[in-house]
Structure 1
Amino acid sequence: MKKIVLGMFVVLFTTTAFAQSKIGTVDADFILTKMPELTGANEKVKAYNLDLETQMKAKIEDYEAKVKLYQSGQATFTDADKKTKQGEIIALEEDISKFRQNGAQLLQLKQSEVVQPLYKKIGEMVTVVAKEQGYSHILTIGNNNNFAYADPAADITMAVLAKLGITVEE
């Protein structure tokens, strides 16, 4: 008899616990595209990209000047001067190559740096909306949507946009 009562208690308890769970979804990437602050963030990334391009152009101009100087004076250079100038040119070639490789990574890091505060703001509003609407879990959806099915009624994206003061034309 004890086992039956205990079994019924466990079934009732777990059913009640599941009934209290409310799961929602949010598309943080969509919200990000609607945030006015994204324009400023994109401008910072563009400015950084221009700075990287300016640095690259300066490196290339320095390289070309040294090559031209080497070619024009090659006949008059001593062997030691030739080796020194060749070493400088090779070092510049390597520097330019490394800068090209690192440039894309630096740009991605800058993008992450300027967008991270926006995602933090979205996350804070998701927490507010989830608590207000009684959600126990919020799942992220978007371009990398891995869900077989998500009920649109459980999506709080528009509520988060409203909390951020952003209106969206549908």
Structure 2
Amino acid sequence: MKNFRGLLLAVALLLSGSGVAQAQKFGWVDSEFIMAKMPEYAKAQQELALLSDTWQKEIEVQQKDLDKLHRNYQNEEIVLTEAMKKKRQDEILLKEQELKAYRNKQFGYEGQLFKKRQELNKPVQDKVFEAVEKIAKKKSLAVIFDKSGDLTMLYTNPAHDYTEFVLEELGLGAEDRNQPGPKGAVKTVAPPKTPVDPNFESDSGTPEPAAKTKAAKPTRPARKK
């Protein structure tokens, strides 16, 4: 994702260096929202989830084997000679090291899952980048920000949102899609009333009297003139 965000910034820098500097237009897109609409991205995530689940199950099997070695050693330690204890301990240590190495290989930094995610996501990111670049040129935008990127955007004006244009460029836009949901009726929720406990004692040690409610005064009928 960081590489994709870097590409978006590269587009911005490229376009900002061309054309007249005055009255430059800018916009923003939500790359995560765009990719979530792409079938190829969903397929990539499914493949990654399958790989992750397979590797996790293999780790669980190795962990069970390691736990069994620990239990057997604890149950038989009292009858083992020092040489046998040393052998068992070395075997357990080796198994722990193998498990740790396998976990790091699959899920560690720049491990197999990390590399596979880059491999599967890159075609999708490139496709979105090309669409963003086309929209930037069509709309004469000098800068395009990524709302889902590392750049903190405290406020985004919908007038500068070009996400929908990118979706249309990718063939994913439609009049009945990607629109905000209907607004429901605004309901005012009254804050809950705190019940008064008649047995609650104040700092003086005497119970606090319960709050009395005033009865509403009857209204007099208006006199007829």
TM-score when scaled to structure 2? Answer: 0.57
Alignment match, 2:35: 32
Alignment match, 1:92: 95
Q: Which whole-Å CA distance do the structure 1 matches of 2:39 and 2:126 have between them?
A: 15
Residue-by-residue CA offset, 1:8-45 (whole Å, 9 max, x unaligned): xxxxxxxx6313x2211111111111111122111111
- Which residue identity lines up with residue 63 of structure 2 in the other structure? I
Q: Aligned residue pairs: how many? A: 154
Q: Which whole-Å CA distance do the structure 1 matches of 2:123 and 2:57 have between them?
A: 27
Larger Rg: 2
Establish whether residue 117 from structure 1 lines up as the match of residue 120 from structure 2: no
Q: Select the residue among 16, 19, 22 that pairs with 1:18.
A: 22
Establish whether residue 162 from structure 1 lines up as the match of residue 165 from structure 2: no
* Higher-helix-fraction structure: 1
SS of 1:47's equivalent in the other structure is helix
Contact 2:26 2:160 in 1 (8 A): yes
Residue-by-residue CA offset, 1:91-148 (whole Å, 9 max, x unaligned): 3234445655673654862444433332221111100111112112211113766234
My pick for the range that moved more, 23-32 or 55-64, is 55-64
Q: Select the residue among 21, 41, 45 that pairs with 1:42.
A: 45
Contact 2:36 2:42 in 1 (8 A): no
Contact 2:164 2:178 in 1 (8 A): no
Among all aligned residue pairs of Structure 1 and Structure 2, give the percentage whose two residues are the same amino acid: 28
Of structures 1 and 2, the one with the larger relative CO (CA 8 A, separation 6+) is: 1
Q: Which whole-Å CA distance do the structure 1 matches of 2:72 and 2:45 have between them?
A: 40
My pick for the range that moved more, 58-67 or 21-30, is 58-67
Alignment match, 2:142: 136
The offset of 1:58, in angstroms, is 2.2
Unaligned runs of 5+ in 1: 1-15
Alignment match, 2:69: 66
Q: Which whole-Å CA distance do the structure 2 matches of 1:74 and 1:152 have between them?
A: 70
Measured on the aligned residues, the alpha-carbon RMSD in Å equals: 2.9
TM-score when scaled to structure 1? Answer: 0.72
